[in-house]
Chain A
Amino acid sequence: MSKIEVTPGMFSKVEAKPSFKTAITLLSSALVVFVFFGLLGKAGDVKFVWSDKRELIQLPQWVISSTTLCLTVGGLLLAIAAVSLWLAIREKKTPVWLVAVFGLLAMFALLGWLATGATQGVQMVFILSNTLVLAIPLILGGMAGIMSERVGVVNIAIEGQLLTGAFVSSVVGTMTGNLYLGLVSAMIASGLLSMALASLAIKYLVDQIIIGVLLNVLVIGVTNFLHSAWLDNDSAHLNFPGTFDKISIPFLSDIPVIGQVLFDNRITVYLMFIIVPVLWFVLFRTRLGLRARAVGEHPLAADTVGINVAMTRFWWVTIGGMIAGLGGAALTIGNVGSFGREMSGGQGFIALAVVILGRWQPIYVTLSALLFGFTIILRIWANQVSPGIPVDLITMVPYLVTLVAVAGFAGKVKAPAASGQPYIKG
């Protein structure tokens, strides 16, 4: 008698067939740019404006024929798509950075195509800085999503958290005349809301999705009521906080393009610059993060090594909620200057999508949120430079991208294993 030799086939992995999903998506997008923007697009010059007039260092403007630009970029895109196809045939994956380069190039072509013949040209600083500002609520909402999903609580209530933050920051900011106080109260109020979510989900085991949806409905109801029954009576003394002053960081803000976009902003933006890397660091490099992820992956296992599952979940959800509250404040005292009815307008739900798109990882989530910020400003800007363009169709793009991504990722990218599951202790 002898031991059977383990040969290939006995539990070994069978090679998967090549997937052409990415290649086909890239190829069709590249064709759109090449044919639709390039060959069929209107001819004319397009002007790229790199510097604001106020800036110290002025970069020269670029003027280029729209057809040349779109055909060149389209050609590059086709080349990338071809590489992706080649990789797929050789059963390899297309690297993420290549897809990112593809996306940036495609955006460039889109901007050029839209601004063809427009006198103001493509104002890069305007577009990029607005992209950033508009993405802040999404990014911070996304961080809230990461913080709760990483510990195993699905957070559908981001919308409500943003709206709470927006409302409270505006009212407190106006009444006290101190915007920083408004900011802090927004975080506290939104944190309290999250505590409700956390305790209902963790202690009382109410379905997490249902409770999230209902908290959103509640916050919308309450803020709508207070807006009409209270704020509207005397908005000058209740809902007129104004915004934070912009802080220019010396020297850094003088760097062309980047300086204006990144280093001449309100405090809400700078706070985001701090929160995102800190969250990344905490999640993946510290004891706190290891424990949190353990709770989200396998709560029973975490419990057996003495980690308090309920408390971990409670505080991560709560602090996440505070960050979302900050995101809400960014809507009012960080951008618009007053509270409007349902002003979060579904951004909390988009934040939810951004979390998945960014694979529960702070840096990727931020990048995905920026994509959405970009399309919001694109819609506004496209209307100015190119009236008559079907803005509604442009509006759809990020949602379609999310759909494609969610459908494509599913099964490949795993959410925290215990996300959405209550942990019932014996």
Chain B
Amino acid sequence: MTPKKIPSEIPAVDSKANSVLREIMSGDPVRIGLSILLGFFIGAVFMVVFNEDVVKSWSNFGADPSYALSTVWWTIQDGYGALFSGSVFNLGADNFIDGIRPLTETLRFAAPLIMAGLGVALTFRVGLFNIGATGQIMVGLAGATFVSTRLHMPAIIHMLVAVLAAVLCAMVWGIIVGILKARTGAHEVIVTIMMNYVATSLFTFFLRNPGMLLEASGGGTPKSDHPDGTAKLGALLGPDFNLHYGLILAVLAVFIYWWLMERSTFGYRFRMVGHNATAARAAGIKVENTFIWALAISAAFAGLAAANQGLSLDGGLTTSIEAGIGFDAITVALLGGSRAGGVVMAGLLFGAFKAGSSSMQFAGVSPEVLGVVKALIVLFIAAPPIIRALYRLPVPGPKIYEAAKKAKEAKVIK
């Protein structure tokens, strides 16, 4: 009997039309769209329920129901309208420059989120849950600030050296995590949490110390001098806009990330380790070294974010310059599915949230609601069952959960 006669065991494929429909309904773009929609909707509920005007008008609902309903509408419109005009285009502006400025602000806020997000995304794809971007940014900031305030060099060169210092310092921090993980097997989640605290303390210590980073006229508060003009990331679109060359760094970072992960053999091996480390080991890959490399490169991206933060300011630095970017980077990476394009989109969304906050505040709506929206969106995307249950979407074919279930079943049964 020749092997050809044995019935092949190619997995059963559904009828074509059916599977196409399923793909569209539960495929990523639709699900992500629905998640974002639902996130904004629940955010609106929060805004409305905790708005004093609405509460007042609803306590007189019987007297004037249309007013009560319209307060609901106005609250949402105020809130999300302010978000739009603060982050995309200001419709009320007198000229185009003022009108488009919010968009450039979104880009400005998005840049560091994208860079740090790429760093976290890279480690996700190597199978590491690295939440150490905060610490890496802190250490990178220390490096960048030292070069930009204590050393003096010609323009551009100074800036490049400062960026390099940020990247190298952050990499040191990443490599420490990598070595601890590779040599001792310590869990990277715990290690990075601890390293974050150590880095924050260390940076504060530097900022407090006159011999290191404390400003010349320094007192008790930990604050540095402002960076030298020669070291600053200059304005990208002229003096009318705050947007600076950090955006270029971000664009470069995105391209490097894409090339590294999708085109290069390094990325191939990173992904191999992420999917199946034991198979990678048997294929001749030094998994431990891969962890170290991945954490180092990941930290380099965080270092770029640090450079962006540390070299764009007019005044001196305090620890608040980190602005939660390291933590947001985790959600950006999750939302972006750890892919270059996804991280860019996620970074832009979160950047828009940051850019729009102040105009929401100005419109009398607490911008904190965006924190809720943000968390919900990522939660819905990371947990497909929730969104499927809410929208009653069909379960995708044998692909995701079913496949996992089957694999497990097979294991149980054999």
Confirm or deny: B52 has a beta carbon within 8 angstroms of a beta carbon on chain A: yes
A393 vs B198: C-alpha distance when bound (angstroms)? 9
A407 vs B191: C-alpha distance when bound (angstroms)? 8
Interface stretch (choices A72-80, A172-180, A220-228, A247-255): A220-228
Q: For residue A403, which residues in chain B have a CB less than 8 angstroms away from its CB?
A: 180, 186, 191, 194-195, 198
Number of A residues near B (Cβ < 8 Å) is: 50
A222 vs B375: C-alpha distance when bound (angstroms)? 9
Interface stretch (choices B30-38, B225-233, B341-349, B381-389): B381-389
1/0 contact trace for B208-219 toward A, CB 8 Å?
Answer: 110000000000
Q: For residue B51, which residues in chain A have a CB less than 8 angstroms away from its CB?
A: 229
Looking across the interface, which residue of chain B has its beta carbon closest to that of A156? B189
Confirm or deny: B379 has a beta carbon within 8 angstroms of a beta carbon on chain A: yes
Assess the A399–B198 pair: CB atoms within 8 A. yes
Confirm or deny: A352 has a beta carbon within 8 angstroms of a beta carbon on chain B: yes
Confirm or deny: B161 has a beta carbon within 8 angstroms of a beta carbon on chain A: no
Q: For residue A393, which residues in chain B have a CB less than 8 angstroms away from its CB?
A: 201, 205
Assess the B369–A300 pair: CB atoms within 8 A. no
Which residue of A217, A399, A400, A408 is within 8 Å of B378 (Cβ)? A217
Assuming the contacts A205-B401, A399-B194, A399-B198, asked whether A214 and B180 have C-beta atoms less than 8 A apart, the reply is no
A341 vs B195: C-alpha distance when bound (angstroms)? 23
Looking across the interface, which residue of chain B has its beta carbon closest to that of A209? B129
CB distance from B346 to the nearest CB of A (A): 13
Confirm or deny: A91 has a beta carbon within 8 angstroms of a beta carbon on chain B: no
Which residue of A226, A396, A425 is within 8 Å of B50 (Cβ)? A226
1/0 contact trace for B310-345 toward A, CB 8 Å?
Answer: 000000000000000001001100100000000000
Which residue of B193, B201, B368, B412 is within 8 Å of A300 (Cβ)? B412
Q: For residue A392, which residues in chain B have a CB less than 8 angstroms away from its CB?
A: 201-202, 204-205, 208
Confirm or deny: B41 has a beta carbon within 8 angstroms of a beta carbon on chain A: no
A138 vs B382: C-alpha distance when bound (angstroms)? 28
Which residue of A200, A225, A402, A406 is within 8 Å of B383 (Cβ)? A200
Q: For residue B82, which residues in chain A have a CB less than 8 angstroms away from its CB?
A: none
A353 vs B194: C-alpha distance when bound (angstroms)? 8
Assess the B193–A349 pair: CB atoms within 8 A. yes
Q: For residue A395, which residues in chain B have a CB less than 8 angstroms away from its CB?
A: 197, 201
Which residue of A207, A217, A225, A424 is within 8 Å of B369 (Cβ)? A225
Confirm or deny: B184 has a beta carbon within 8 angstroms of a beta carbon on chain A: yes
A215 vs B369: C-alpha distance when bound (angstroms)? 16
Q: For residue A407, which residues in chain B have a CB less than 8 angstroms away from its CB?
A: 180, 183-184, 186, 191
A390 vs B209: C-alpha distance when bound (angstroms)? 9
Q: For residue B208, which residues in chain A have a CB less than 8 angstroms away from its CB?
A: 390, 392
Q: For residue B372, which residues in chain A have a CB less than 8 angstroms away from its CB?
A: 218, 221-222, 225
Looking across the interface, which residue of chain B has its beta carbon closest to that of A401? B194
Looking across the interface, which residue of chain B has its beta carbon closest to that of A415? B187
CB distance from A361 to the nearest CB of B (A): 17
Assuming the contacts A229-B366, A230-B50, A399-B198, asked whether A426 and B409 have C-beta atoms less than 8 A apart, the reply is yes
Looking across the interface, which residue of chain B has its beta carbon closest to that of A224? B368
Assess the B50–A229 pair: CB atoms within 8 A. yes
CB distance from B28 to the nearest CB of A (A): 16
A185 vs B75: C-alpha distance when bound (angstroms)? 30
Q: For residue A2, which residues in chain B have a CB less than 8 angstroms away from its CB?
A: none
Q: For residue B412, which residues in chain A have a CB less than 8 angstroms away from its CB?
A: 300, 425-426
Assess the B382–A214 pair: CB atoms within 8 A. yes
Assess the B379–A218 pair: CB atoms within 8 A. yes
Confirm or deny: A32 has a beta carbon within 8 angstroms of a beta carbon on chain B: no
Assuming the contacts A221-B371, A228-B366, asked whether A210 and B202 have C-beta atoms less than 8 A apart, the reply is no
Confirm or deny: B46 has a beta carbon within 8 angstroms of a beta carbon on chain A: yes
CB distance from A18 to the nearest CB of B (A): 18
CB distance from B77 to the nearest CB of A (A): 17
A241 vs B405: C-alpha distance when bound (angstroms)? 49
CB distance from A290 to the nearest CB of B (A): 23
Looking across the interface, which residue of chain B has its beta carbon closest to that of A346? B197
Assess the A356–B385 pair: CB atoms within 8 A. no
A172 vs B398: C-alpha distance when bound (angstroms)? 47
Q: For residue A218, which residues in chain B have a CB less than 8 angstroms away from its CB?
A: 372, 375-376, 379
Assess the A411–B184 pair: CB atoms within 8 A. yes
Confirm or deny: B5 has a beta carbon within 8 angstroms of a beta carbon on chain A: no
1/0 contact trace for A25-43 toward B, CB 8 Å?
Answer: 0000000000000000000
Confirm or deny: B284 has a beta carbon within 8 angstroms of a beta carbon on chain A: no
Looking across the interface, which residue of chain A has its beta carbon closest to that of B379? A214
Q: For residue A350, which residues in chain B have a CB less than 8 angstroms away from its CB?
A: 193
Confirm or deny: A213 has a beta carbon within 8 angstroms of a beta carbon on chain B: yes
Q: For residue B404, which residues in chain A have a CB less than 8 angstroms away from its CB?
A: 205, 424
A209 vs B128: C-alpha distance when bound (angstroms)? 11
A211 vs B191: C-alpha distance when bound (angstroms)? 19
Confirm or deny: A124 has a beta carbon within 8 angstroms of a beta carbon on chain B: no
Confirm or deny: B252 has a beta carbon within 8 angstroms of a beta carbon on chain A: no
Which residue of B185, B368, B385 is within 8 Å of A228 (Cβ)? B368
Assess the B184–A410 pair: CB atoms within 8 A. yes
A221 vs B51: C-alpha distance when bound (angstroms)? 17
CB distance from B124 to the nearest CB of A (A): 9
Residues 410-425 (chain A) with a chain B CB within 8 angstroms = 410-411, 424-425
Assess the B382–A210 pair: CB atoms within 8 A. yes
CB distance from B408 to the nearest CB of A (A): 4
Q: For residue A221, which residues in chain B have a CB less than 8 angstroms away from its CB?
A: 368, 370-375
Assess the B368–A229 pair: CB atoms within 8 A. yes
Looking across the interface, which residue of chain A has its beta carbon closest to that of B383? A206
CB distance from B79 to the nearest CB of A (A): 11
Q: For residue A217, which residues in chain B have a CB less than 8 angstroms away from its CB?
A: 327, 331, 371, 374-375, 378-379
Q: For residue A300, which residues in chain B have a CB less than 8 angstroms away from its CB?
A: 412
Looking across the interface, which residue of chain A has its beta carbon closest to that of B334? A210
Looking across the interface, which residue of chain B has its beta carbon closest to that of A232? B366
A352 vs B205: C-alpha distance when bound (angstroms)? 26
Assess the B193–A225 pair: CB atoms within 8 A. no
Confirm or deny: B151 has a beta carbon within 8 angstroms of a beta carbon on chain A: no
Assess the A225–B374 pair: CB atoms within 8 A. no
Given A215-B379, A221-B370, A395-B201, 11 other A-B contacts at CB below 8 A?
A203-B385, A209-B189, A217-B327, A220-B371, A221-B373, A222-B371, A222-B372, A228-B368, A390-B208, A395-B197, A426-B413
Q: Can you name 29 A-B pairs with beta carbons within 8 Å?
A: A203-B385, A206-B383, A206-B384, A210-B334, A213-B331, A214-B334, A214-B379, A214-B382, A217-B375, A217-B379, A218-B376, A222-B371, A224-B368, A229-B47, A229-B368, A230-B50, A346-B193, A390-B209, A392-B202, A396-B197, A396-B198, A400-B198, A402-B190, A403-B180, A407-B180, A407-B186, A407-B191, A411-B185, A426-B408
